[in-house]
Structure 1
């Protein structure tokens, strides 16, 4: 996914049979000024994309919250199950209430704890659900923690920002992290940027990571290598190309090490 693609307040996951509910929820949130990923509004964006990869990126990295509309249809459909797995991966890594269930019936959802709080549209109006979700978004909103331009900061301040970025896992900071990885004069800052990018697990970082395989500092190259390992099969042919064609012996050697780790299945 391109770095300039949108970040959403809410991504809605639902089965096609429940589209009417999903659309009312999406429209209500949009009317209140929130950004929403709702598939019918994204048809031009989705056209021609690898939907498996794109939707994983949206539901795991590009949304503040994921609302799942649970019904007897939800667990029977492949795409909602894929979206839920991506959303659960985000919630597990960040340990926050990222997945917000909205129930239309009592269908159990594999992997979703029965104790998780939910809204029930059998006893609540859609307008009330929209109001509660709007409040949730507002309470969860925080200003951007990191400046995009690091040039006016000293090395210690830049290192501190990289350390915070590791825990924030905020995809919106990817351009700043890539810039630090490829241009910062401090090896400590570059290594921190690589570690923070590793936490994002996003293919959008691929080009910058491949360039940084040739970094002059071994620790930076090592962090970059692990980030590529955890991107998995999607990174494999690109790393193979670096291993075979790079003029930098450092880059080629690290690429070969990454390939060894990939062959051992050390991703995800």
Structure 2
């Protein structure tokens, strides 16, 4: 039998963590998700016996319960009441119900350490709201804002020297990127673009795409957890001639975006290093 619930998800949290939780709740409401969040229920709660009402909300009223676990959460009377009620529902039904999210490593009685959780220290409210929607099998309509991240273990830019396939002769210099998906879910990555630290003479811009690859790689490119993509772009002599006018400390860097609203930037590479390599190959 398919159960009908008043709420898709109910949120349990300490007041100290309200700023984060309210952002999550507002996104869910904007996405038409039925969410129990106390501020949205002030009029309905007015005059009710909260002990009785919260027993209904956290034991029978929602498909899922998300406790936002923290030291403050463990210390509060009401959050202890809420999580104990939610745990009793899990015991009674023996189905997936509690979806823990952690601000720290505080242990809560009744929440087994083997129960998978989301680490909120690594996730924005926007991203967490989208994870809840995914759990509810609902597609978000509001895109995630880009979150700029820099991590060389995920996204690395290097200078590559490539050779002719037939003659094996060194042929030119390229910019090579390697990106690894170290998040727990798949995402599509878009074509990377590049940026030099100064505007290029005669172009009026410092941002550009490269199109000439040493091997075919298509974008958007789907990456599962742990998968990587590498691509090397050939640099033209005409570009190097324009870069000659850049300051000696000029650098180039690569950026890419994903289908989950993330934006990554690579390490920086000295432009002079690239120019000198091109000259050596002449």
TM-score by length of 1: 0.49
* Structure number with higher strand proportion: 2
Q: Which has the higher contact order (CA 8 A, sep 6+)?
A: 2
Structure with bigger gyration radius: 2
